[in-house]
Amino acid sequence: MYDYTSSVLKNGNDFCLIEKKIHKIKKIAKEDIINKFLKERSLGKKNLKHTRNIDIKIQNFNEKFTKEKLLAKLNLKEKKIKKIILFASHKFSESPHAKGKLIFRDYFDQFKKTLRYIEKKNFIDGLWLFKAHPSSGEFNEQNIVAKEIKELRNEKIRMCPKKLNSHELSKFCDLVITSRGTIGLEFASQGKPVLITGNAAYSKRNITIEPKSKKEYFKTLDNINNLKPLKYDKTLLAKKILYFLENFKLDMSSSEVALTLEEELKAKKNYFKYLNIKLLKKNFFEDRYFKQLKIKINSLFY
């Protein structure tokens, strides 16, 4: 449930949630417990409250990918690559301003202008990987990023191999660029620099680079080789925020009545038929999500 206060409208619900719970988050669990959870999360073994399970893609190569293997796959093994920069796209059609401000018009605007800029600048010692959002197919966007990259015909600007998930990428990519995606927390949890261009759940915690304008953003790209890894305390904070969001955020995923994304896609126009079938099996008033929601609503008025 979102409390649509002026702060939520300005900064986004997730940011306000972290702001409100930050003292709890800093003491949330021991690091070994968090590390175990994040490992299982990356393998798709956890039911999550913030990230949709369908977006946790499991890499199924016969052997683990490394930087050297990636460069070999892209025929860049002998090239001098100082940094591998990952640009993680959002779903372009998804409401870009529902979670606070962006310095670009929208997600596609950032993608397109970033692509044009790095093509023009010709960063000779960097490999730029572009990753489409795992659920881009929901809006028939699955080929947009690949089409734009293919038209450039630039060996240093490439599509990310589809089977690699964000956790694997965070091990050998040197930094990630995103508008406000959860992948920023995944990279920060590995101590990697994160460049964001809009309000995110983890904004203003000194774990990200947050340019205030497009001019400042492109200036940051010019100095991409000078970005430093995160210090231990910031890496740990990123892990704790991700752990909190995935375990304690009030979300429809805890409901046994509401349709999952997979069920919604299957149901299509028969949404209420599928919903009624679930309601026959489970009393709405006994549903976990409804009970949590009831407590939340009562706390606002009583």
Q: What is the pLDDT of residues 2-13, one digit of tens each?
A: 455 677 767 888
pLDDT tens per residue across span 66-121: 888 888 888 887 677 889 999 999 989 888 877 888 999 999 999 999 999 999 98
- pLDDT, mean of residues 51-79: 74
- pLDDT, mean of residues 257-263: 65
Torsion sign (Cα): 225, 231, 236, 241: negative
Pull the structure tokens for residue 220: 């940051």
Cα–Cα distance between 288 and 302 in angstroms, integer? 21
pTM of the model: 0.82
Classify residue 135 as exposed, middle or buried by CB count within 10 Å of its CB (0-12, 13-18, 19+): middle
Looking at the chain, which runs of residues are DSSP E strands?
83-88, 126-131, 157-159, 175-178, 194-196
Q: Predicted confidence band at 203 (pLDDT cuts at 50, 70, 90)?
A: very high
Q: How far apart are the first and last CA of the chain?
A: 17
User: Quick one: DSSP state of residue 102?
Assistant: B
- The answer to whether residue 258 scores a pLDDT higher than 80 is no
- pLDDT, mean of residues 7-28: 88
- The answer to whether residue 248 scores a pLDDT higher than 60 is yes
The alpha helices in 132-231, defined as continuous H runs, are 144-152, 166-172, 183-188, 214-222
Residue 163: per-residue pLDDT:
77
Q: Which of 278, 199, 192 is nearest to 231 (CA)?
A: 192
Q: Predicted confidence band at 151 (pLDDT cuts at 50, 70, 90)?
A: very high
Q: Predicted confidence band at 18 (pLDDT cuts at 50, 70, 90)?
A: very high
Residue 58: per-residue pLDDT:
56
CA distances for 83 relative to 12, 79, 126, 127, 173, angstroms: 32, 12, 5, 6, 7
- The answer to whether residue 259 scores a pLDDT higher than 70 is no
Domains of the chain (ranges plus CATH)? Answer: 6-248 (3.40.50.2000), 252-301 (no CATH)
Residue 253: per-residue pLDDT:
57
Residue 62: per-residue pLDDT:
46
Residue 106: per-residue pLDDT:
94
Q: Predicted confidence band at 122 (pLDDT cuts at 50, 70, 90)?
A: confident
